Amino acid sequence: MLRDITLGQYYPVDSPVHRLDPRTKLFGTMVFIISLFVADSIWGYLAATVALGLVIRLTKVPFSFMVRGLRGILVLLLISVSFNLFLTDGQVLVQLWIFRITWEGLRTAAFMAVRLIYLVLGSTVMTLTTTPNELTDGLEKSLGFLGKVGVPVHEISMMMSIALRFIPILVEETDKIMKAQMARGADFESGNLIQKAKAMVPLLVPLFISAFRRATDLAMAMEARCYRGGSGRTKMKPLRYQSRDRIAYGAELLYLAVMIGLAVVL
């Protein structure tokens, strides 16, 4: 049942990409996204394909797992492709009743589709190889400069990691309460919308009560350990760049240079 849901979708294997510093991966993802918008020729996209394919190979994550993220954008993809395909003016290729496909339309639609798919794949590589906690750590460190202008970076990232940490716990709790109410004859599946909404009450009330209880307990436990926000706080596992991160940064910058070069030259 609910137990089968994977959140944060981290895929636990050991690979060179998994071992990289989260900041390196954040930067790499950003570079990849920028490069997709820089590219405007077939050569640019080819270079992006090679780079993405190489990184995916390095992650050791099965490709089927990678593609799973694409299902979410299928509708968006179809809409944007058909808009570009049918509504672009230019040299007419096929004309069917009021539908007209132009050479330019075909070109933009194809580029658009590839761009969208690569955007999702690129960020999926990041989330599949980085635990949610590493991700928040990386974001906290990378966005640390915002703290100078009064943004509570540490607090926000602490809230993010607590929220992430509690998702599986609350999912489990939901599962448990659902089963307990089903053992008392509750029915969560059948009925119309109003009946279904009503059936959620025996699930949501205990869930909220337990969430509040857990929140108070956690706040108490943090205070008991003298937690008082981010100032002067050190980390058990501070982020430190290794030589592989330097290599990765080099590769990322080289890739960006190639992509810009291709866009300028061609």
Partner 1 sequence: MSIKVEHLNHIYGEGTAFSQYALKDVNFTIEDGEFVGLIGHTGSGKSTLIQHLNGLLRASSGAVYYNGENIYADGYDMKKLRSKVGLVFQYPEYQLFEVDVFSDVCFGPRNLGLEKEEVEARAREALSLVGLDESFYAQSPFELSGGQKRRVAIAGVLAMEPEVLILDEPTAGLDPRGRDEILDKISQLHREKGMTIILVSHSMEDMARYAGRLIVMNHGEKVFDDAPKEVFKHYKELEKMGLAAPQITYVVHELREHGAEIADDLTTVAEARDAILAALRKG
Which spans of this chain sit near partner 1 (rule: CB under 8 A)?
3-4, 11-12, 176-177, 179-187, 201-202, 205-206, 209-210
The residue whose two tokens read 């490069």 is 35
Q: How far is the CB of 116 from partner 1 (least distance, A)?
A: 28
* CB contact at 8 A, 195 and 174: no
Q: How far is the CB of 64 from partner 1 (least distance, A)?
A: 12
Nearer to partner 1, 42 or 182 (CB): 182
Q: What are the residues whose beta carbons fall under 8 Å from the beta carbon of 152, sequence distance 6 or more?
A: 230
* CB contact at 8 A, 86 and 100: yes
Nearer to partner 1, 205 or 266 (CB): 205
Q: How far is the CB of 134 from partner 1 (least distance, A)?
A: 19
Nearer to partner 1, 96 or 194 (CB): 194
Residue type for position 88: T
What six digits make up the tokens of 221?
Answer: 């436990």
DSSP string computed for 103-118:
HHHHHHHHHHHHHHHH
Q: How far is the CB of 59 from partner 1 (least distance, A)?
A: 14
* CB contact at 8 A, 71 and 120: no
Nearer to partner 1, 152 or 191 (CB): 191
Q: How far is the CB of 215 from partner 1 (least distance, A)?
A: 15
- What are the DSSP E strand ranges found in the chain? 92-96, 99-102
Largest CA distance in the chain: 73
Nearer to partner 1, 47 or 178 (CB): 178
